Amino acid sequence: MSMDNFRIPDKAIEFEALFAQMSENKKDDLDWKRGRAFCLVYYPGEEKEELIRKAYNMYFTENALNPMVFPSLRKMENEVVAMVANLLHGDEGVRGSFTSGGTESILMAIKSARDYMAKTKPEITVPEMILPATAHPTFAKAIKYFGVKGVYVEADKNYCASPKNIEAAITENTILIVASATSYPHGVLDPIKEIGKIAKERALLFHVDACIGGFMLPFVEIITNKEMPFDFRAEGVTSISIDIHKYGYAAKGASVVLYRTAELRKHQFTVYTDWPGGIYGSLTMVGSRPGGTVAAAWATLMGIGMDGYLDMAKKTWGATQLIKEYINQSTDLILMGEPAMTIVAFSSKTIDIFELADELSIKGWHFERLCEPAGIHLTISQIHEQYMSEFIADLDQGIKQVQANTIKQITNKIKVGVMRRLVQVLPEGLIAKIQSSFSGKAAVKSDRIAPIYGMLGVLRGTEDMDEIVLDLLDKLNTPSPKK
């Protein structure tokens, strides 16, 4: 395909026509304003969003790369990090950085851990990081980027990290333990206190990934009047990642990585003083940074306040209780683990959960499909207070539809069975098939993809599967031919 079709227009397009085209293009996107997104989007409502947009736009052009030039940005950035550290019970020794998201926060924490331990324990040449199988894939990225060996340990039957398994995996090369507060797939809280104790006793670093839970757990503690010391209250915790652009409701591109000591954070920074262009110092992965994300995060924290967050957390908690009650009384659905806050995952022993997922997708809902064991994941946010009853009604109807649809289920089972055999003899043909199913728009939008998920379960964790996903990423990130 020639890129000639994608020339920058010789003559600028009228702005009005452009916006009309963009609105038209958006028509197929997910309807998050009607609560259809059980992941990806955190919408605080119109009034708050207006505040966040305004703050973003005030710093739309400024670059947060050089803190000397925009002292107002530096002040806001430092205050955001300090407010977040305070939320997570950090003392005056705690230091942190503002980053572009959970991924960057985690990457920075692992890089700092690696470099800090290289200095303090130089005898370790192949550093190891122990992490539960449920840890976010960003840690797999860090393993690939930073040459740290990942030692994955099985979670317990409630999908929580197992201190016993972690302890058993410690070797003389271990530098770091990872746990989640909460985990993304099942929304369960790993036993941070117990793991922290192990880390402290064995003089290891311990990172808590609170990207998803950091702005929800503190409010659930207030709502339930039950302490969940997942943060710096737990001894042994040496770093934490926490996203403001998730349950903090800030504009996308806002997260914080915190360290228990300034010494640990220093290993995150990059300094290069031998450049003809001048002395270069950089805090995190990125160079130029949008001033807007910093300003918007600051305005979000200040403009929502603890009372605003508590109010939104109560709505979210209420919606979570509704779906949990529905699942608990259902004879078809099973709650996966014990959700610590407002993420719920469920599976089924009586029906094919991916068939049910298809029914819900067709009705316009968007959520995650979990593998091994198969399940449906919902990240509930404040907007779902208005839409949970509608979702439950569709869920109820979806279960009945799947039960009535036994013939289709049998057909799908046969398809999966055939594919299982094909995997053994014809992986390339299978790969082509799966790719074409996935790259079609219908499959991504709300077509029935249960059989594909069945097949993917067979290939999970294999090199074939990696190849399929690599090709898929390539396809999705190449423009489609213009009509």
Cα-flanking dihedrals φ and ψ of residue 476, to 5°? -65, -25
Cα-flanking dihedrals φ and ψ of residue 56, to 5°? -60, -50
Closest to ligand PLP by CB, 184 vs 391, is: 184
DSSP 11: S
- Residue keyed to tokens 């979210």: 316
Nearest distance from residue 223's CB to ligand PLP, in Å? 21
Q: Which residue is nearest to ligand PLP (CB)?
A: 102
Nearest distance from residue 212's CB to ligand PLP, in Å? 4
Closest to ligand PLP by CB, 301 vs 450, is: 301
Name the site residues for ligand PLP (rule: CB under 6 A).
Answer: 101-103, 106, 136, 138, 180, 184, 209, 211-212, 243
Nearest distance from residue 102's CB to ligand PLP, in Å? 2
For residue 54, count other CB atoms closer than 10 A to its CB: 13
Closest to ligand PLP by CB, 343 vs 456, is: 343
The strand order across the sheet containing 95-99 reads: 95-99, 255-259, 239-243, 205-209, 174-180, 128-132, 149-153
Q: How far are the Cα atoms of 237, 341, 415 from residue 398, in angstroms, in the given order?
A: 43, 25, 22
Closest to ligand PLP by CB, 138 vs 293, is: 138
Query: How many angstroms separate the most distant Cα atoms in the chain?
Result: 72
Closest to ligand PLP by CB, 42 vs 326, is: 42
How many angstroms separate the CA atoms of 250 and 248, rounded? 6
Closest to ligand PLP by CB, 127 vs 185, is: 185
Nearest distance from residue 341's CB to ligand PLP, in Å? 12
Closest to ligand PLP by CB, 134 vs 348, is: 134
Nearest distance from residue 61's CB to ligand PLP, in Å? 24
Task: Write the CB contacts of 240 (distance below 8 Å, at least 6 apart in sequence).
Answer: 88, 207, 208, 209, 210, 214, 231, 232, 257, 258
Residues 133, 152: contact at Cβ < 8 Å?
Answer: yes
Q: Is the peptide bond before 182 cis (omega within 30 degrees of 0)?
A: yes
Nearest distance from residue 418's CB to ligand PLP, in Å? 34
3-class SS of residue 57 = helix
Nearest distance from residue 245's CB to ligand PLP, in Å? 6
In 103-213, DSSP assigns E strands to 128-132, 149-153, 174-180, 205-209
Nearest distance from residue 253's CB to ligand PLP, in Å? 9
Closest to ligand PLP by CB, 138 vs 412, is: 138
